[in-house]
């Protein structure tokens, strides 16, 4: 094996070896499998990474995984299907990994996970978009036919701000919850806001907006059922729960949502990892569209807060206390 081949099989990865002692260091690991070789230049750090790294994430109940759902990178080697997808060596690409693993210097991934990044879009801005943008798009599509009035529980968050903008582009009237500290920002993105800390918010929503056709929720709250029309729908992206008990909350919320599939209002789960794993073409279409909208200025990405990978600890700390409108982005060097 040549030196180049050996090097291209190694990657420095942020592997979670233990939930009780999160080392937060990168370690060298060999890459398995075939597919395109991508040198990662940027990767986001979001709330799901923090949850997973402390052992609170149902999709990674055991240590031994690498955190990071999405990335921007440069293609160094292509697999056979890449050409038919229009990908070449040297292309700047974006992707979401269905099983995490993006906090790494290099990745081996099937070309079907990759889409080109438009030339005009800066990599740090693009890096804020793949997971949250695809989640926002997918959640909206699960509400189809498109609601006339949409309520987003957590509209000031990363997924919420992107969903609010995508819905507004479709002509949907958007409202949602936010803390008083981030309400002004959510309003700038076009959403009427209600304080989730005020128990009267459902009453205020009904008075000011009336019942809505669709809800995107990340808390599993049953209160939301009272603000949706009977023929409306609630899309659940997460199920909340106290820190340390979020796996159980997710399992219970997931089961409850499945049971409510044919209730009125109906409920569905939005899982982007499952979507990416099972609906590859739709995922690529959604990610391509989100990046194009950002490139054309019609979708405003969150403001990237960039950390060099040598400051991984600080990046994780910052992502653990997310500032509204901002997203932590790791940079590995262009």
Ligand X SMILES: NC(=O)c1ccc[n+]([C@@H]2O[C@H](COP(=O)([O-])OP(=O)(O)OC[C@H]3O[C@@H](n4cnc5c(N)ncnc54)[C@H](OP(=O)(O)O)[C@@H]3O)[C@@H](O)[C@H]2O)c1
- The residues binding ligand X (CB under 6 A) are 46-48, 51, 131-132, 135, 153-154, 156-160, 177-179, 182, 196, 218-219, 237-238, 270-272, 322, 324
Residue nearest to ligand X (CB): 157
Q: How far is CA 260 from the centre of its chain?
A: 24
Which residues have CB under 8 Å from 324's CB, separation 6+?
156, 157, 178, 181, 182, 185, 186
Least distance in angstroms from the C-beta of 28 to ligand X:
29
Helical residues (DSSP H) of the chain, grouped into ranges:
3-7, 47-53, 80-84, 123-126, 130-142, 158-169, 180-188, 201-208, 246-259, 272-278, 280-295, 312-320
Least distance in angstroms from the C-beta of 324 to ligand X: 5
Helix (H, G, I), strand (E, B) or coil at 276: helix
- Smallest separation (angstroms) from ligand X to the CB of 23: 22
Query: Is 146 or 179 the residue whose CB approaches ligand X more closely?
Result: 179
The nearer residue to ligand X, 86 or 197, going by C-beta atoms, is: 197
What is the Cα–Cα distance from 296 to 36, expressed in whole angstroms? 28
Burial of 43 (0-12, 13-18, 19+ CB in 10 A): buried
User: Is the separation of the CB atoms in 121 and 294 below 8 Å?
Assistant: yes
Decide whether 38 or 191 has the Cβ nearer to ligand X.
191
322 φ/ψ angles, rounded to the nearest 5 degrees: -65, 135
| Minimum gap (Å) between residue 133 Cβ and ligand X | 10
CB of 90 to ligand X, least distance (A): 30
CB of 125 to ligand X, least distance (A): 16
Q: What is the dihedral of CA 46, 93, 62, 222, to 10 degrees?
A: 50
Closer by beta carbon to ligand X, 51 or else 100: 51
Q: Measured from the CB of residue 124, what is the shortest distance to ligand X in angstroms?
A: 17
Nearer to ligand X, 41 or 48 (CB): 48
Comparing CB distances to ligand X, the nearer of 48 and 67 is: 48
Task: Give the C-alpha separation, 94 to 288, whole Å.
Answer: 9
CB nearer to ligand X: give 11 or 237: 237
């Amino acid at each position: 094996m040549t030196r180049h081949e050996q090097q291209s099989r190694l990657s420095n990865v942020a592997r979670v070896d233990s939930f009780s002692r999160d080392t937060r260091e990168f370690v060298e690991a060999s890459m398995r499998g075939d597919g395109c070789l991508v040198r990662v230049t940027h990767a986001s750090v979001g709330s799901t990474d923090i949850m997973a790294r402390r052992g609170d994430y149902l999709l990674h109940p055991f240590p031994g995984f690498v955190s990071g759902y999405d990335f921007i990178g440069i293609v160094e080697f292509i697999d056979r299907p890449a050409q038919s997808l229009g990908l070449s060596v040297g292309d700047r690409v974006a992707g979401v990994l269905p099983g995490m693993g993006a906090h790494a210097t290099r990745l081996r991934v099937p070309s079907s996970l990759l889409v080109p990044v438009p030339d005009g879009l800066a990599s740090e801005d693009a890096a804020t978009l793949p997971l949250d943008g695809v989640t926002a798009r997918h959640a909206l599509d699960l509400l189809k036919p498109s609601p006339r009035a949409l309520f987003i529980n957590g509209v000031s968050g990363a997924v919420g701000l992107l969903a609010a903008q995508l819905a507004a582009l479709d002509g949907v009237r958007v409202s949602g919850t936010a803390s008083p500290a981030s309400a002004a920002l959510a309003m700038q993105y076009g959403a009427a806001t209600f304080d989730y800390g005020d128990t009267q918010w459902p009453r205020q929503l009904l008075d000011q907006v009336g019942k809505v056709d669709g809800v995107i929720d990340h808390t599993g709250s049953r209160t939301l059922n009272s603000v949706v029309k009977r023929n409306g729908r609630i899309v659940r992206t997460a199920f909340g729960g106290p820190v340390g008990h979020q796996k159980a909350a997710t399992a219970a919320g997931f089961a409850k949502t499945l049971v409510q599939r044919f209730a009125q209002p109906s409920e569905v789960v939005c899982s982007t990892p499952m979507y990416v794993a099972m609906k590859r073409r739709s995922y690529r279409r959604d990610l391509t569209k989100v990046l194009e909208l950002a490139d054309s200025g019609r979708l405003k990405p969150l403001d990237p807060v960039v950390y060099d990978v040598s400051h991984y600890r600080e990046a994780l700390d910052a992502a653990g206390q997310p500032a509204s409108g901002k997203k932590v982005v790791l940079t590995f060097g262009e």
